[in-house]
Amino acid sequence: MSLLRTTRDWLEDRTGLPSAIQHFLDEQIPASAGWHQVFGSVALFAFLIQAATGFLLALNYGATPSEAHASIRYIMTELTGGPMIRGLHHWGASAMIVVVVLHMAQTFIWGAYKRPREATWIVGCTLLLMVLAFGLTGYLLPWDNKAYWGTTVTTQIAGLAPGAGPYIKRLLGADGDVIGSITFSRFYAAHVMLLPAITMLLIGAHLYLVRRHGVTPLPADADRPKKRFYPEQVLKDTVAAFAYVMVVALFANFAKLGLGSMADPTDTQYIPRPEWYFLFMFQVLKIFEGPLEFLGAVVLPNLAIVALFLVPFFDRARAVAVRQRTVAIAVVVLAALGWAGLTQRAIATTPANLEDLEAGLRPPQPWREIPAEHLAAIGYFQQDNCAACHILGRSANGPDLAREPSDKDASTLMAHFFQPTEASAVSTLTRNQQVSLVKLVTKRDERGLASWENPPQKELAGAILYQARNCGVCHTLNGAGAKNAPILNGLAGRRTREWVEGHFANPKTFTPNSPMPAYKFSAEELDQITSYLMAIPK
């Protein structure tokens, strides 16, 4: 005890911290203060959780477009506790918006913005905008299709501002309608440096104003003795903060986050949607279409923000009991119903997303990224039992093709198929298949070599079928083939498996002017080629 007292006295003499903490805990609050006052403390605690989890994510995040997506995959699949950290940060962002909005609604209903607390309300409104700005800037950082196209819509809306629109887009780094590395850098800088600094200053100002003017009392509190902030209100705030953490942790653990394919600016089929808390704005834009788009995108939102800031100057009546504030209660109820209705309508009218939401979490699979001819050649290598002599990774009766490509010319290798060594048989491959195999063993790159290790047999058979049916005469796949028909990369994001299978059987039913002939595949062959095509990324 003597050591503790000595330490406390030293801290008091040098810093004054113990007496400052005691003064904070001894704050006088109204007798009616209770559970309805916990939202402010929970909002502060929510910000601290976001700051802590954001810092942990930043330690493992690649802050460039080329590294961002892969670093999120690393966090989600390899980093110890990574999914929980990202889950806490993701769901915490949504939960913090809910808590801040509830705090604002409770303050509005109680009339806690009245004189002398106008400045407290204005700072609180600014903090709400900061929280929404965190959501907007953080949305882009996973750098998947959802993030990319959602941010594209945001910058396009910002560009509708009269006169200032082009300058705002330039400030956001959006060159025309293209989101690139400049936009990414500016959103990242705002999210991790600018917004946290401004938010901390605003929180400090908000706390100062709350302490200066005190917690808003009810009119009936005038003749009742006040109570101390500690221990009763501190206990309530602690319980509320604990409940908040439990809710966010449950979401982080059970509502698993995915990661879509890496952002693809050429994927015009992707239908962008904002996060749930901005869906109501998205629906409003559907109401105000064409010439009225400016009204729904710029005028109404800014009028709502200005009106929110000016509430204390519109309502100058004396404070009354909460049950008598029917207009305030009606405004909050109508706003909640309007938001819920617009959000529900936006969800109901959103087309099904065909993109695999887990695509970005899968480890790189080189076989999905090489031309069909190379993958099929790996199948020919297995089919012709070349591995009997050419055992990949170690020496055998023939050269180890895993160590380095063959140095023989094409004519020598073609002759080898018909005049093999005593350890191997005459090749059963067709001439075209032999040509493909020669290309594989002489010109394969590192992806082709990695694909050789363990390609899935069903997709391997699908690539062989793709080559056998000369699909590359019309289609492009992984950069190889003609462009007389749609590019097949990313087919799974545009079509369902049933559509692809039906299109093989009768193309004109699905595309009336299609020159593609019908293919009479067996059930097994149809499964193989469809599985292969649906596995190829964008």
Report which of 225, 181, 239 is spatially closest to residue 45, judged by C-alpha positions.
239
Confidence (pLDDT) at 356? 75
**Maximum Cα–Cα distance across the chain:** 108
Convert the pLDDT of each residue in 430-476 to its tens digit.
888 888 888 888 877 777 777 777 788 999 999 999 999 999 999 99
User: If pLDDT is split at 50, 70 and 90, which confidence band does 245 have?
Assistant: very high
Least confident of 42-46, 186-190, 452-456, 509-513: 452-456
Q: What is the average per-residue pLDDT within 364-391?
A: 83
Q: Domain 366-535: what homologous superfamily?
A: Cytochrome c-like domain (1.10.760.10)
Least confident of 96-110, 385-399, 459-473, 483-497: 385-399
User: If pLDDT is split at 50, 70 and 90, which confidence band does 421 have?
Assistant: low
Convert the pLDDT of each residue in 259-288 to its tens digit.
988 887 767 667 788 888 888 888 888 888
First to last CA, the chain: 68
Question: What angle do helix axes 431-443 and 457-468 make, rounded to 10 degrees?
Answer: 120
Matching CATH number, 28-262+283-350, of 1.20.810.10, 1.10.3720.10, 3.40.50.2300, 1.10.20.10 = 1.20.810.10
Would you call 232 helix, strand, or coil by DSSP?
Answer: helix
CA dist 440 to 220, 434, 444, 474, 511, Å? 86, 10, 5, 22, 35
DSSP-derived secondary structure for 112-125: TTSTT-HHHHHHHH
Report which of 135, 124, 129 is spatially closest to residue 39, judged by C-alpha positions.
124
Place of tokens 């005028």: 299
Convert the pLDDT of each residue in 287-335 to its tens digit.
888 888 888 888 999 999 999 999 999 998 888 888 899 999 999 999 9
Report which of 200, 196, 151, 249 is spatially closest to residue 55, judged by C-alpha positions.
196
Say if residue 374's pLDDT is above 80.
yes
Say if residue 411's pLDDT is above 90.
no
Convert the pLDDT of each residue in 501-532 to its tens digit.
999 999 988 888 888 999 999 999 999 999 99
At 222, the amino acid letter reads A
Confidence (pLDDT) at 239? 97
Confidence (pLDDT) at 266? 66
CA separation for the pair 269, 276 (Å, rounded): 21
Q: What is the average per-residue pLDDT within 200-213?
A: 95
Backbone angles phi, psi at 449, to 5 degrees: -70, -45
3-state helix, strand, coil in the chain (%, to 5): 65, 0, 35
Neighbouring CB atoms inside 10 A of 279's CB total: 19
Taking the whole predicted model, whether its pTM rises above 0.75 is answered as yes
Contacts of 462 (CB under 8 A, 6+ apart): 528, 529, 530, 531, 532, 533
User: If pLDDT is split at 50, 70 and 90, which confidence band does 100 have?
Assistant: very high
At 131, the amino acid letter reads V
Domain segments of the chain: what residues? 28-262+283-350, 366-535
